[in-house]
Structure 1
């Protein structure tokens, strides 16, 4: 793995303007270095509480989720809390998680939210959809379209990234909830990526439809905790997922495939004990890239090349453990550049905006940042 050791950033001076005691907006810019030269980094909004996901609306507004349960809309220098958000189980790593704006938003005004919900024995990952009101202040008619099968306990490994497929189907990642063997059990949703129609029904061509004892929503299985997901420029689905001690993975997702957890892994248990049967087994997929030591990847973007042509098709992930943006270049064997500085503390999400700028969320700083050419 090839790494770039980048220079330290100048401290970012956050703006003093405070809105409703919550956020400061439009801070002065700083610069950081990358393989393409200087990048300008601007704090768009700070003072957030555990930001988890960001999405873009037509016209330049953005949506941001906070794990505790708030959905925010930032528009024209104003921050609004959106009403009508579902009740969430903000337990451990659970809460209000991903937000996805579909391609037909201008007509449908639909917004999809993944979140943790209380179930009979614990919490589980769910997905719902509502319509954003014309004035952008509330979600109307929010309804739950999927909830994982109950039975999980503990507050970890919810997965929860939402991606609209090229054909309009909806993908949702689900962690194994700390129940390792369940990731190999097609009778549970633990450790899977599911595929749904827009209304939550099951597509007839899902790989396990009609298989006795299998959950028909499942598209792939054997995942530990996929916290990043994105389509590439060919419309293929990729995810990144947490390993244990080492063995974080980037995977190209195929219909019906088994990604091996916890039978194979490039990591070890936190105790140092060996995981499963080794690093490979017939019938189980190999990652296209893995990190050892772990970086705790979260959020994923595959860049279009709009502003930085050199980065076309490159995979960006945030690091929750070390605080940087990871850029993987498939054309050079997934060599890695680490873009880091004071602003990149615990990056939870990274997205490309319609204009080609790169946006990311720092949990450490509670801030939305935008990167543009320096």
Structure 2
């Protein structure tokens, strides 16, 4: 059995093996409303069984306050489970394994962490971080604003000449000129004639990557969301206040092209497009991160589009990490290339909404993905591995009660409450010597940049570097050895903006200080 262990707020250990045949996941995803209902039921169980001694959120009891972030932060999920399940000898704490099933105890632990986080004040948003000096455990740095005026920036990649490409989710590819001064580096004109995207809710123009042999080929790779080819949009409905326009069938697509001397997208090629019957009107979980492996093959992620049974179905590209050659052909050593009915580009499966990919110095592939209510994951990818979504989760999800299952690979780290991990990058430069070989994770809901210390296939320490500048989407190392980060103004609860709203963004870099 694969172990799924760890600290919900920090470290988790995992072992891995190739995927075994998985049980069938629930027939359909219970959705976000179902998640809220499950949390409500879990809260009622706490009230019925625990509040008499421990109090309720915002009120004290005669036993320790289980909503205290300091208490929760000092104990792993496994320690909390043992205490709840086995009880405390000589105290009033009974053994709840005689009262509650194991899955309900795990759900209660996740609910406690979610409730405790919800009572904490939100970080005060600083719209302009320019000049801020931050002292971390091993490095002081100053924040420089490289460019502003971006609209929901999603991905970034450096060209060999030092120019920076940034995607804007509404559908524009922007160039940031290294030669200009201060905040005037963003060219006013977007690259012309880029592919038309479907920009609705989470969809739009997503990631960008540069060919490993760009000096010779000139290829630039994009992940984007398109409306199903041939689909005719119906007349736009008249919406009542607060209503959203309907979604239409869409899907993640991978393309490549070149930018000519006139700033135009040319020589366009489509490298990956799913069968048209797989396009779905769901507006969430597109995945879309791009990366190249050490052999120069292209990796990309596709989310399960809000229907978790897709993640356990090898006949669909949804909920998977894929590997193709740079021309779109299929590598001969892909794990499912000879399995009848399986999508041959699949490298790993059982994913929810993976949005981060990074190779470490030893060639290990790290991946980040969004969980449901809690349970965000950092994974080590094995070819052919099944990462469990649809059957197991560290978060709260209707239809899932297990945290482990034979043949399924557990996360190396997971997070409850959610941080919504997006882009990740391994630092290989010399400008921050103490950070060389560390993994950096950007967090959307957590609105922070997180540093992870790696020791082989383990995460031994974590540190939040800053938490004040809005949603942190992506990170990369520039040719100058500095870390460059995409920020976006906050959205979601308490901001007056829907979670998936388009808001202004900027590029910053971290300048080391003595």
CA distance in 1, matches of 2:259, 2:360: 27
What residue is the counterpart of 2:328 in the other structure? 200
Aligned partners of 2:315 and 2:479: how far apart in 1?
39
What pairs up with 1:314-333 in 2 under 5 angstroms? 314-331=438-455, 333=459
Kindly indicate whether the alpha-carbon contact (under 8 Å) linking 1:73 and 1:136 is maintained by their aligned counterparts in 2. Answer: no
Cα distance change on mapping 1:301 and 1:360 into 2, 3 Å: same
Q: Distance in 2 between matches of 1:256 and 1:324?
A: 32
The answer as to 2:259 corresponding to 1:144 is no
Aligned to 1:86: 195
TM-score normalised by structure 2 residue count? 0.65
Matches within 5 A, 1:181-330: 181-269=309-397, 273=398, 275-330=399-454
In 2: Cα distance, 1:302 partner to 1:13 partner: 26
Which secondary structure does the structure 2 equivalent of 1:144 belong to? strand
**What is the CA–CA distance in structure 2 between the aligned matches of 1:34 and 1:50, rounded to whole Å?**
28
User: Aligned residue for 2:475?
Assistant: 350
Kept in 2: contact 1:32–1:341 (CA 8 A): no
| More strand by percentage | 1
Q: Which runs of 5+ in 2 are unaligned?
A: 1-9, 12-72, 74-122, 232-247, 490-503
| Bigger fraction of residues in helix | 2
State the distance in 2 between where 1:12 and 1:222 align: 37
Tell me if structure 1 keeps the 8 A contact 2:300–2:323. yes
Query: Runs of 4+ in structure 1 displaced over 3 angstroms?
Result: 8-14, 331-334
**307 and 208 in structure 1: CA distance in 2 versus 1, 3 angstrom threshold:** same
Residue-pair matches, total: 351
The structure showing larger relative contact order (alpha-carbon pairs under 8 Å, at least 6 residues apart) is 2
Q: Give yes or no for contact 1:145–1:200 (8 Å, CA) kept in 2.
A: yes
Residue matched to 1:23: none
Unaligned runs of 5+ in 1: 15-27
Determine if contact 1:84/1:142 at 8 Å carries over to the other structure: no
**Aligned residue for 1:366?**
505
Instruction: Verify the 8 A CA contact 1:100 1:112 in the aligned structure 2.
Output: yes
Secondary structure of the structure 1 residue equivalent to 2:222? strand
> Does the Cα contact within 8 Å between 1:12 and 1:29 map onto a contact in 2?
no
TM-score (norm 1): 0.89
CA deviations 1:237-269 (Å, max 9, x no partner) are 211000001110011111111000011110002
Shift of 1:277: 4.2
Contact 1:10 1:31 in 2 (8 A): no
| C-alpha separation in 2, matches of 1:88 and 1:193 | 22
Q: CA RMSD in A?
A: 2.0
2-side partners of 1:259 and 1:110: how far apart?
Answer: 32
